[in-house]
Amino acid sequence: MHNDEHYMRLALDVAKAGVGQTSPNPAVGAVVVNGGTVVGLGAHLKAGEPHAEVYAIRMAGEKARGATVYVTLEPCSHYGKTPPCADLLIQAGVRRVVVATTDPNPLVAGKGIAKLRQAGIDVDVGVLKDEADELNRMFFHYIAAKTPFVTLKFACSLDGKIATATGESKWITSSAAREDVHRLRAQHDAILVGVNTVLTDNPKLTVRFGEKRKNPLRIILDTKLRTPLDAHVVADKEAETWIITGGVSREQAAAYERLGVRVFSMPTAQIDVRDVLRLLGEQGVMSLFVEGGSRVHDSFLRAGAVNEVIAYIAPKLIGGRGAPTPVGGLGFARLAEAVELDIRRIETIGPDIKIVAAPKRK
């Protein structure tokens, strides 16, 4: 059992190579061990490319026969873009398979494990399950809820201000913290902001630090189509942009569509966050990074639609009764209604503090 955890931890580390680049697939790692020697490693790196098991078994070659395979997610049993990994493991003649967590995808959901067992392979399930579930929390949420996993992010001063009373906000946190935000952007399928943030900051919402990657989709909540045609998100062509409206005329939408922007009309005049998430789920958006502003944060929190909160806190005191805070709008009238969070991690990034938290499950 001790050895099982050791090799599963290695498989999880290998899986991490794919985090943020496998959507709509999960990140998966596999390790093949024969006679106490690691003979194969593999990670799923991109949808459409081979699964982790394929690389690991290929590397192991003949040494896969009689080996134990550690895999962070139940091997698939269906023909997708690639043939089933369960069949591959059976053909390779492995003796035992250790699985961290089962695949909630209804096409797999226990069938991969059943297939292996039918072929006489020993299968153990649940080694480092919590870590494996955490690694693919966005994928698991999306499969179960059919709506994207929502990360709400903000940056503020130690006294909880996102700007001064005169509206100055660039920059409250350090460049190291902002670089971290760009890394997080790259790990989500889409970034969402409210139209006021576009009007005030004219953000690009692209990934500009680190390795050049595909930019996430940009989404603006904009009831009456107030986004300027020359805003970066409309004009720069750096990434796809969708504007979600409360229902606008064809002519209004056409000006944006000519620039390659997709305009969606929601069924209600006031855009309902739940409807937005359903729409995005249908469109295959697995993860959403909500970057403000404060009214949008309020709407997402009050809709109970937030899965994770990431706060960057700068060691600065801004003060001022009129200086805005990360969550605006109406907020919660009673303390009993406040969103209670469990803190998952606290890190320092340059001079700033980063807190990762998740709403308590009720």
Q: Are 292 and 197 in contact, with CB atoms under 8 Å apart? A: yes
226-285 residues near ligand NDP, rule: CB under 6 A: 226, 271, 273
What burial class does residue 244 get, using C-beta atoms within 10 Å of its C-beta: 0-12 exposed, 13-18 middle, 19+ buried?
buried
* Near Zn ion by CB under 5 A: residue from 27, 33, 64, 76: 76
Site track 19-58 with Zn ion (rule: CB under 5 A), x = hit:
--------------------------------x-------
Q: In the annotation, is 53 catalytic?
A: yes
* Near Zn ion by CB under 5 A: residue from 12, 64, 85, 239: 85
Which of 5, 49, 53, 168 does the annotation list as catalytic?
53
**Looking at beta carbons only, is 17 or 248 nearer to ligand NDP?**
248
| Total count of residues recorded for the chain | 362
Q: Which does 221 bind (CB under 5 to 8 A by kind): ligand NDP, Zn ion, none?
A: ligand NDP
Virtual torsion, Cα 133, 137, 139, 144, nearest 10 deg = 90
Q: Are 257 and 284 in contact, with CB atoms under 8 Å apart? A: no
What is the nearest approach in angstroms of Zn ion to the Cβ of residue 181?
Answer: 33
**Looking at beta carbons only, is 94 or 156 nearer to ligand NDP?**
156
Q: Note the maximum CA span of the chain.
A: 70
Which residue type is seen at 278? R
Q: Which does 299 bind (CB under 5 to 8 A by kind): Zn ion, ligand NDP, none?
A: ligand NDP
Check binding of 318 to ligand NDP (CB under 6 A): no
Structure tokens at 302: 């009050």
* Near ligand NDP by CB under 6 A: residue from 55, 142, 154, 264: 154
Q: Are 84 and 112 in contact, with CB atoms under 8 Å apart? A: yes
Closest CA to 14 of 51, 49, 66: 51
Pairing mode of beta strands 96-99, 149-157: unpaired
What burial class does residue 49 get, using C-beta atoms within 10 Å of its C-beta: 0-12 exposed, 13-18 middle, 19+ buried?
middle
Structure tokens at 114: 């059943």
What is the nearest approach in angstroms of Zn ion to the Cβ of residue 112?
Answer: 8
Q: Which does 51 bind (CB under 5 to 8 A by kind): Zn ion, ligand NDP, none?
A: Zn ion
Among the listed ranges 78-86, 121-129, 134-142, 221-229, the one in contact with ligand NDP (CB under 6 A) is 221-229
Distance CA 44, CA 16 (A): 9
- The count of chain residues that interact with ligand NDP, using the rule CB under 6 A, is 27
* Near ligand NDP by CB under 6 A: residue from 5, 49, 201, 238: 201
Among the listed ranges 105-113, 144-152, 195-203, 257-265, the one in contact with ligand NDP (CB under 6 A) is 195-203
Distance CA 362, CA 357 (A): 15
Q: Are 354 and 343 in contact, with CB atoms under 8 Å apart? A: no
Catalogue the active-site residues.
53
Which residues form the interface with ligand NDP (CB under 6 A)? 154-155, 162-163, 169, 193-197, 200-201, 221-224, 226, 271, 273, 291-296, 299, 328
